[in-house]
Amino acid sequence: MSCGVLPMHAAPDIAVEIVALTKQYALGMAPAVDQINLRIASGSYCCLLGPSGCGKSTTLRMIAGHESVTHGDILLHNRNITRLPAAARGTAMMFQSFALFPHLSALDNVAFSLKMKGVHKAERHRRAAALLERVAMGHLAQRKPGALSGGQQQRVALARALITEPKVLLLDEPLSALDPFLRVQMRAELRRWQKELGLTFIHVTHSQEEAMALADTMVVMNQGLIEQVGSPHQVYNFPANEFVARFMGGHNVLRSGAGLVAVRNDHMRIAPAQDAGASGLAARITDVEYQGTYVLLGLRLDDGADEASGMKQVAVLLHEADYLARPFEPGQPVQLSWDESHARALGTGAQRQAAQQPKAEPQPPRTRRDEPAPVAA
């Protein structure tokens, strides 16, 4: 959604605005984060998503104040926090549960940062106990982390981050150390807490599945640039470019008369080659993977068809019932096609802007009027 099409009074309240934010760790190296612009709506769950090394953590650490900014600005509720120390920003980082102090009770873990601020014991315990109640951990306040389950530790870690009453909670791969079952459970909890607390969450993950499950808005990053901003539905159904389509998965990227298009695996049509009237790309089944609700077919396009499509490997996802009604075998020749209404035209992808010269005059930050940054609403 572009802010430009909305009347001014309908613009969402922006919690975090990032303007031309850049991080260059060393001169001569490509910036880890390259002049990115982003606006994150207040009270929303925003996921920064992208492959390892694309600059997600660097972006989050710059927002947190744990990493210096090379160029650009960070605004929190219209206050420029770019050069403020971490503790003065109104942000807090939720660290993974294994970062809890093992020798302290849940209560003292949560109260720890208040102790550092010199808050006296009765007051910090009162506030920590109230927060532990809030995350349904009040009855376990005296337990040490080692005597808590992974999920309970995660809640203590959340309470510990919330004790400073941040406006924005920052989470860097908070679920990656958990086993898959707990990860799915904790992801539902994070989502529920975010809604209950009404806080803005910015959550870094390399998992599309996690981002889709959690985010109001996903920000897809690649090599220090933002490729696409949108709701999970928008990004999955309308990938902006080839990178996003491939990174999100579940799509085939194919060449068509209209240029490159993405077609969802479950939107592909497949017919046995011998069927009368079968038309489209000739391919052969290479593997059949049973997934429960779905069956995933791997295919290799025949010579000629791969030239036309620009691809060799294609995947088709069938409902179990459709597959059972008409099973396919490895080695079987088939014809693939798709409905034009399911083909998403792909754009060229984010482009690096000209590098800012270290000696150049400092540039005024680009304002909303020059070029609207995408709104993460």
List of residues contacting ligand ADP (CB under 6 A): 25, 32, 50, 52-58
- The kind and range of the H/E element at 204 are strand 200-205
Contact of residue 24 among ligand ADP, Mg ion, none (CB under 5-8 Å per partner type)? none
Report the residue number, 44 or 57, with the smaller CB distance to Mg ion: 57
- Rounded to the nearest 5°, which phi and psi values hold at 260? -70, 135
Contact of residue 178 among ligand ADP, Mg ion, none (CB under 5-8 Å per partner type)? none
In 42-154, DSSP assigns E strands to 45-49, 71-76, 79-80, 91-94
Q: Walk across the sheet containing 268-272 and list its strands.
A: 268-272, 333-338, 281-290, 294-301, 313-319
Contact of residue 32 among Mg ion, ligand ADP, none (CB under 5-8 Å per partner type)? ligand ADP
- Residue 270: CB minimum distance to ligand ADP, A: 36
CA-nearest of 329, 343, 259, 263 to 299 is 329
- Residue 66: CB minimum distance to Mg ion, A: 12
Contact of residue 65 among Mg ion, ligand ADP, none (CB under 5-8 Å per partner type)? none
- Residue 60: CB minimum distance to Mg ion, A: 8
Contact of residue 281 among Mg ion, ligand ADP, none (CB under 5-8 Å per partner type)? none
CA-nearest of 345, 326, 180 to 251 is 345
- Residue 105: CB minimum distance to ligand ADP, A: 32
CB burial of residue 249 (10 Å; 0-12, 13-18, 19+) = exposed
- Residue 241: CB minimum distance to ligand ADP, A: 18
What is the rounded CA–CA span in Å between residue 143 and residue 105? 5
Cβ count near 283 (within 10 Å): 27
- Residue 300: CB minimum distance to ligand ADP, A: 32
Report the residue number, 32 or 318, with the smaller CB distance to ligand ADP: 32
Buried b (16+ CB within 10 A) or exposed e, 76-88: beeeebbeeeeee
Report the residue number, 58 or 154, with the smaller CB distance to ligand ADP: 58
Contact of residue 335 among Mg ion, ligand ADP, none (CB under 5-8 Å per partner type)? none
- Residues present in the chain in total: 377
How many residues touch Mg ion (CB under 5 A)?
A: 1
Contact of residue 25 among ligand ADP, Mg ion, none (CB under 5-8 Å per partner type)? ligand ADP
* Per-residue contact string for residues 51-90; x = within reach of Mg ion by CB under 5 A: ------x---------------------------------
- Residue 57: CB minimum distance to Mg ion, A: 3
> Do the Cβ atoms of 175 and 155 come closer than 8 Å?
no
- Residue 33: CB minimum distance to ligand ADP, A: 7
The single residue listed with the structure tokens 């207040």 is: 42
Token output for 157: 């870690």
What is the rounded end-to-end Cα distance, in angstroms, of the chain?
8
- 205 near Mg ion (CB under 5 A): no
Contact of residue 55 among Mg ion, ligand ADP, none (CB under 5-8 Å per partner type)? ligand ADP
- CA-based Rg of the chain, rounded to a whole angstrom? 24
> Do the Cβ atoms of 94 and 170 come closer than 8 Å?
yes
Q: Which residues form the interface with Mg ion (CB under 5 A)?
A: 57
